């Protein structure tokens, strides 16, 4: 029996002339990811990526890895045979034996992308369904509400039999939409915003602002753990750890308290933009969410973003917290995010932050600082840490 995984492509099939390059990106991403697991043959035909394992390859691990690769909308494990109706029946009997023994009802659904096959889809479904019903008398054919659907696909190279598909990660292949910098704190939100932009095909450079000794070494480890957890979706990344202590102290000692957070966030933007430009990245991603905290009002965000030329992408802006948490749980970052280490944002939080600042007021409040020198110093002190998915 020829065990194979069929991955159906998502919206990239709408890309017209660019479609080939999207497919090529996806194939490269898949190959790179599966290299960790074993030896596989990967090819694309008719909007489907085929993944065949070499003898003894771990198909279960491959399937799990493929579920996290962007660009695949659904996937299924399937068995292949020659394009012959009786070969298909024989394969279905063997491959889906356990499922057919358990289900009270079933139907066969056929699809023919090879139109030279001598039966129509309906004829083939009826034939295979009839034969299976004889071999498995305890399950009856029910075309309206079956417990099990047996799928038969007649494609270019072979016929394939499989059970229900599972949803893939969706989105666009990583790297098909450029690179962005993502601000990664240790919180719940920014791992989710990072994931959401990666899902649109964007490679990411995580940037973390680190205020040692106000925030501990453990807080840094936590961020690196989050970044590592994200690599399953985002691929291997290099985290840029920016020393932020001096900037925060300068703000605390020289600027009005009500603007601490906003000035700090403006420094984050400036530094993120420098890192972006140095790495050819075209946007800055944050986990901001309208109204969640004082610095996430529209006025506060205007003050923060006024110093950035690049677009600031805020994929969580209109989400409810509980939906963000749900996504964080699905991604597997939630449990790490709630570890109790402090973030630099909470180090010098003003008692009464201004929620409706004027951009000019914030700019005036920070004018006492040597902004350029502080940014240069932070950039010069960056520590770069590579994170990769386990097994590599
Ligand atoms: P999160 O849950 O992501 O920490 P938050 O709800 O705590 O977000 P803020 O503290 O206002 O919100 O931060 C807003 C965004 O700014 C974060 O989502 C993140 O993108 C970025 N950010 C905050 N602190 C840091 C940090 N220390 N390093 C890097 N980025 C940060
Ligand atoms: Mg936070």
- What does each of the 392 residues of the chain score in pLDDT, given as a tens digit? 578 999 999 887 777 778 888 999 999 999 999 998 999 999 998 889 999 998 889 999 999 999 999 999 999 999 999 999 999 999 999 999 999 999 999 999 999 999 999 999 999 999 999 999 999 999 999 999 999 999 999 998 899 999 889 999 999 999 999 999 999 999 999 999 999 999 999 999 999 999 998 888 999 999 999 999 999 999 999 999 999 999 999 999 999 999 999 999 999 999 999 999 999 999 999 999 998 777 789 999 999 999 999 999 999 999 999 999 999 999 999 999 998 876 666 667 888 888 889 999 999 999 999 999 999 999 999 999 999 987 44
Residue ranges lining ligand 1, Cβ < 6 Å: 183-185, 187-190, 207-209, 286-288, 292-293, 295-296, 343-345
Write out the CATH class of domain 2-167. alpha beta
**Strand order of the sheet with strand 383-387?**
312-313, 284-285, 179-183, 203-210, 237-243, 383-387
Which atom of ligand 1 is least distant from the CA of 337?
Answer: 2
pLDDT at 392: 42
Helices and strands per DSSP (H, E), number in the chain: 14, 15
The pair of structure tokens assigned to 255 is 């600027």
**Which burial class, exposed, middle or buried, applies to 106 when counting CB atoms under 10 A from its CB (0-12, 13-18, 19+)?**
buried
pLDDT at 293: 77
Q: Ligand 1 centroid vs 317 CA: distance in angstroms?
A: 13
Tell the CATH topology of 179-391.
Rossmann fold (3.40.50)
Q: Ligand 1 centroid vs 184 CA: distance in angstroms?
A: 7
The pair of structure tokens assigned to 53 is 């394992």
Which atom of ligand 1 is least distant from the CA of 182?
Answer: 20
Domain boundaries, the chain: 2-167, 179-391
- 193's CB contacts (< 8 A; 6+ apart) are 182, 285, 286, 287, 313, 314, 315, 316
Whose alpha carbon is nearest atom 24 of ligand 1?
185
Q: How far is residue 307 from each of residues 2, 15, 244, measured CA to CA in Å? A: 58, 35, 18
Q: Ligand 2 centroid vs 147 CA: distance in angstroms?
A: 45
pLDDT in tens, 321-380: 999 999 999 999 999 999 887 666 666 788 888 888 999 999 999 999 999 999 999 999
Quickly tell me which residue has 């020659």 as its tokens. Answer: 82
pLDDT at 2: 77
Quickly tell me which residue has 């630099």 as its tokens. Answer: 344
Which atom of ligand 1 is least distant from the CA of 289?
Answer: 6
Whose alpha carbon is nearest atom 4 of ligand 1?
187
Most informative mutation of 265, 287, 289 for ligand 1 (most atoms within 8 A of CB): 287
Which atom of ligand 1 is least distant from the CA of 244?
Answer: 27
3-state secondary structure of 371: helix
Whose alpha carbon is nearest atom 10 of ligand 1?
345
| Residue 57 CB neighbours (<10 A) | 18
Which atom of ligand 1 is least distant from the CA of 292?
Answer: 6
241 strand-pairing partners: 208, 383
Q: Ligand 1 centroid vs 231 CA: distance in angstroms?
A: 19
The pair of structure tokens assigned to 95 is 């491959």
pLDDT at 1: 56
The pair of structure tokens assigned to 283 is 């946007």
49 strand-pairing partners: 7, 44
| Residue 191 CB neighbours (<10 A) | 31
Strands 179-183 and 203-210 turn out to be parallel
Q: Ligand 1 centroid vs 292 CA: distance in angstroms?
A: 11
Q: Which residues surround ligand 2, an ion (CB under 5 A)?
A: 185, 187, 343
pLDDT at 36: 85
Q: Ligand 1 centroid vs 228 CA: distance in angstroms?
A: 18
Q: How far is residue 356 from each of residues 48, 259, 302, 368, measured CA to CA in Å? A: 51, 11, 10, 22
Whose alpha carbon is nearest atom 26 of ligand 1?
185
The pair of structure tokens assigned to 35 is 């290299």
The pair of structure tokens assigned to 253 is 């000692």
What are residue 191's phi and psi, to 5 degrees?
Answer: -65, -35
Angle at 325 between CA 319 and CA 328, to 5 degrees: 110
pLDDT in tens, 123-160: 999 999 999 999 999 999 999 999 999 999 999 889 99
Q: Which ligand is nearest to the CA of 222?
A: 1
Q: Which ligand is nearest to the CA of 314?
A: 1
- 31's CB contacts (< 8 A; 6+ apart) are 40, 42
What distance lies between CA 210 and its chain's CA centroid? 25
């Amino acid at each position: 029996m020829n065990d194979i995984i069929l991955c159906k492509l998502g919206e990239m099939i709408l890309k017209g002339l660019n479609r080939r390059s999207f497919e090529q990106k996806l194939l490269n991403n898949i190959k790179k990811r599966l290299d960790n697991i074993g030896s596989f043959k990967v090819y694309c035909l008719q909007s489907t990526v085929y993944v065949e394992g070499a003898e003894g390859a771990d198909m279960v691990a491959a399937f799990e890895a493929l579920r996290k690769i962007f660009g695949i909308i659904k996937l299924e494990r399937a068995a292949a045979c020659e394009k012959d109706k009786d070969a298909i029946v024989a394969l279905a009997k063997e491959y889906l034996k356990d499922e057919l023994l358990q289900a009270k009802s079933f139907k066969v659904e056929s699809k023919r992308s090879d139109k030279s096959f001598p039966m129509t889809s309906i004829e083939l479904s009826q034939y295979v369904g009839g034969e299976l019903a004889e071999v498995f008398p305890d399950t009856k054919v029910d075309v309206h509400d079956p417990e099990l659907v047996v799928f038969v696909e007649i494609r270019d190279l072979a016929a394939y039999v499989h059970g229900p598909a599972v949803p893939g990660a969706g989105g666009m292949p990583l790297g098909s939409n450029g690179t962005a910098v993502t601000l990664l704190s240790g919180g719940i939100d920014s791992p989710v915003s990072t994931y959401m932009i990666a899902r649109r095909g964007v490679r990411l450079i995580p940037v973390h602002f680190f205020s040692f000794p106000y925030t501990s070494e453990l807080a840094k480890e936590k961020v690196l753990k989050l970044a590592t957890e994200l690599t399953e979706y985002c691929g291997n990344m290099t985290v840029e750890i920016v020393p932020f202590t001096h900037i925060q102290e300068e703000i605390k000692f020289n600027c009005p308290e009500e603007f601490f957070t906003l000035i700090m966030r403006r420094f984050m933007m400036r530094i993120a933009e420098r890192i972006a430009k140095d790495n050819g990245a075209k946007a800055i991603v944050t986990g901001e969410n309208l109204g969640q905290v004082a610095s996430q009002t529209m006025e506060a965000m205007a003050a923060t973003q006024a110093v950035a030329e690049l677009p600031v992408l805020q994929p969580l802006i209109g989400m409810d917290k509980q939906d963000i948490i749900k996504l964080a749980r699905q991604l597997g970052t939630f449990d790490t995010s709630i570890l109790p280490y402090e973030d630099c944002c909470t180090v010098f939080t003003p008692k009464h932050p201004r929620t409706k600042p004027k951009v000019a007021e914030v700019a005036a409040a920070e004018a006492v600082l040597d902004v350029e020198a502080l940014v240069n110093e932070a950039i010069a002190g960056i520590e770069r840490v590579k994170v990769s998915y386990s097994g590599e």
